[in-house]
Amino acid sequence: MKAPSRLLTAVLTVVVASSWASSARSQSIGTIDTLSVDGRTAWEDGFLSLFNLDRVPQGSRALGMGGAGMALLGGVESVSLNPATLTGIRRVELESEAVYYAGSAGVSSYPQGRLGAILGTSNYRVSPSSSLGYNNLSLGMPLIIFGSRGGLGITYRRVARTGQAEETRAELLVLTSANQAVTFGRGDSPEGGMDAVTLSVAREMGSRLSVGVNLNFESGTLDRSEDLGVSLYGFTVLSGGADFRQDVSGTSFDLGARADLGKLKLAATAYLGHDLKFDRGSAEVRPMAEDPTAPRYDLRSTPLDNTLSVPTMLGFGSAYSLGERFTLAADYLIRPWSNSEITRARIDPVIGFANPADSTSFFADLNISESSEETFSARFEDTNSLRLGVEYLMIRRPDWTMPVRLGFRKEKLMQTNTAIPSMYSAPVALQLELFHLVQIPAGDRTEEQQARYDELGDALRNLWEFNDLIFRGKGVDATTISLGLGYDMGTFGAELAIERKAYDIDNYFLSGYNPDPRYGSQAPLTTKESRSIVAVSLSTRWRF
Amino acid sequence: MHNWRVAVVVLALLLTGAVSGCTKLVPASVDDFGANKTVVVTLRDGETIRGHIRRGEAVTFTTFGRVYRARVEDMDNAGNIVLAGAYVQEEYERFSLQRDRMEGAQLRITDGTDRISIPAYKIVKVEEVTIDKMKSARASAFWSFTFFVATRIMGARL
């Protein structure tokens, strides 16, 4: 093998396909490092590892107050937080909102020592990308419902984004006669998301209580593409990537109530549990070749359709008026994502050793049933959100007001990064241990050996069937600070808000970890990174 | 796609500026009906005449419960106005009682005649209708932004 090929091959043993990119059956012809499972769901493949299903705040007012405002009467867009607040509108109003996302990232630690042919790594950096998009378009009107004040609203809103785009770069010094430096690059571009058309109705129940309900028709297309590359002297010598697309749809109800106790307002909401259907998926993986002269592969698959159960989210809110200018708001929301389950066609993994005397002859296959389904835990973690907000009417005149807002939010995000349970960090070790137990005839094994044999078999089957599922997005704690400014002239209103969300994650070094035990992969190396995502929201309102 | 969105936003700006109808009333002289001005003449009982107060021009006369469209037949230097060819453009049912009383009063507007005489002493104030630039600007900004959001939604869904 020529020196350059050896160099690049050495690089490629570490630079593997992304842990969330998988599509096709692995091939024994070489080092195509794909997580080789046919017909897996997108969740198992990790394509949706950034898809955070806890709804984004709607309206610049709520954003500026840390997402709080469940107990505040607001504009029509506040129905996404609490449909009961719709009784606060007095005129027909049309509201629209756009959000600009940007961000920054820091890397506090990454492997810098020698890794095989990589002598050292430097300048490892991550850069979130910016994007501009809509957040909601809402129309509301006041109504008299059975003799009491009420409201009707229709909203088109963004519920959840597929993810935040970002780029990763690193300089790798590789072992060659010239100790050449190559540049590794990865671009991760999630696009689209899940939107909802929401029909809302609310009604006052007496002088102090109002109730409301939302009917949400949710749908969207989730896109994610990744590009990998290694460049030498400015020329791209290796490239690869993956593309994914899948549709999502569902219907849900929200219930809300609000009590006006004078200066104190209380509220409660329930975003009722429902199922989301993921279908019409397609995936394509283009593994990075072993060297520039090696064949290129384009592996295509159809992720299995699946259903994800979304648990009910409960919320409690309060607001207190201090005088005529100050308003304090506090909300708490919780969703037991640990109860979420995935249902899809049944998959039965088969593992074993083709040659009982050869530990490298491990094989694995998946049998996909066309007639039966299975349901298993989605393995998410519970999420919760504490939101505090303050609004001060800096200018309060009969014909116009100018509020300023400040907000704080502490929350557990549903998904932000992948994580490997420690048991599966060294699949080769599991495989070798199983191989040694296979050498012992079943009748000669001790009880402990048989128990360990069964445990390892289950672990490897589980690993094989869910090897991406278990590495899929894991939630982290995030802290958000926000500011807001408003201008309301009765007929016309405009609001601006900016929030900064910060959290820390562990990420895979050079985007790669291959849990397939046949490839002798090393224990995964991780980086410690931080993210700071800024959202700038602008909304306008006209009251007719 | 990007150019398409920009074009829609620009069109929205132009349309908004042209048709937003954001106007305001500014005081004008009681006897200054300036032919080129759109004025609102307020009468003692709250009735109003709106339009170009000039011979032959069509104006809107609003009284209790009814809105008339009529033609200015005559007007003199003293401020007396005579309207002819009046027909009912709009009617408000909740003013039916007031209208019934008015029909029995001096100002008979439902006796079949289509002439309305308005003596000058009944005129309380005259205001000129002008373009409210600030309101027009706010309306333009609102509709442009709303169109922008709508096009982004359509771009994502279509």
Query: Can you give the three-state secondary structure of chain B, one letter per residue?
Result: CHHHHHHHHHHHHHHHHHHCCCEEEEEECCCCCCCCCCEEEEECCCCEEEECCCCCCEEEEEECCEEEEEEEEEECCCCCEEEEEEEEEEECHHHHHHHHHHHCCCCCCCCCCCCEEECHHHEEEEEEEEECHHHHHHHHHHHHHHHHHHHHHHHHHC
Asked if B152 reaches chain A (Cβ–Cβ under 8 Å), the answer is: yes
Closest Cβ–Cβ partner in A156, A192, A540 for B145: A540
Q: How many CA atoms lie within 13 A of A221 on its CB side?
A: 12
Contact at CB, B142 and A542, closer than 8 angstroms: yes
Which pTM value belongs to this model?
0.79
A197-233 tens-digit pLDDT: 999 999 999 999 999 999 999 999 999 998 988 888 8
Chain B, residues 15-44, CB within 8 A of chain A, namely none
A98 vs B152: CB contact, 8 Å cut-off? yes
Residue-level pLDDT at A277: 97
Q: Between A117 and A273, where is the model more confident?
A: A273
Does the distance separating the beta carbons of A133 and B152 come in below 8 Å? yes
Q: Find the closest chain B residue to A136 by CA distance.
A: B149
Alpha carbon distance, N-terminus to C-terminus of chain B: 11
Mean pLDDT of B19-38: 65
Lowest pLDDT segment from A11-20, A210-219, B19-28 = A11-20
Residue B16 scores a pLDDT above 70? no
- Answer whether B149 touches A (CB < 8 Å): yes
Cβ distance B149 to A489 less than 8 Å, yes or no, reads no
| Residue B156: closest C-alpha in chain A | A192
ipTM score here? 0.82
The model's pLDDT over A322-349, given as tens digits with 9 standing for 90+, comes to 988 999 999 999 999 999 999 999 888 7
Q: Which of A91-100, A116-125, A523-532, B106-115 has the highest mean pLDDT?
A: A91-100
Q: What pLDDT does residue A209 have?
A: 96
- Amino acid, single-letter form, for residue A229: G
Biggest distance spanned by C-alpha atoms of chain B: 65
Tell me the C-alpha distance between B13 and A539, whole Å: 17
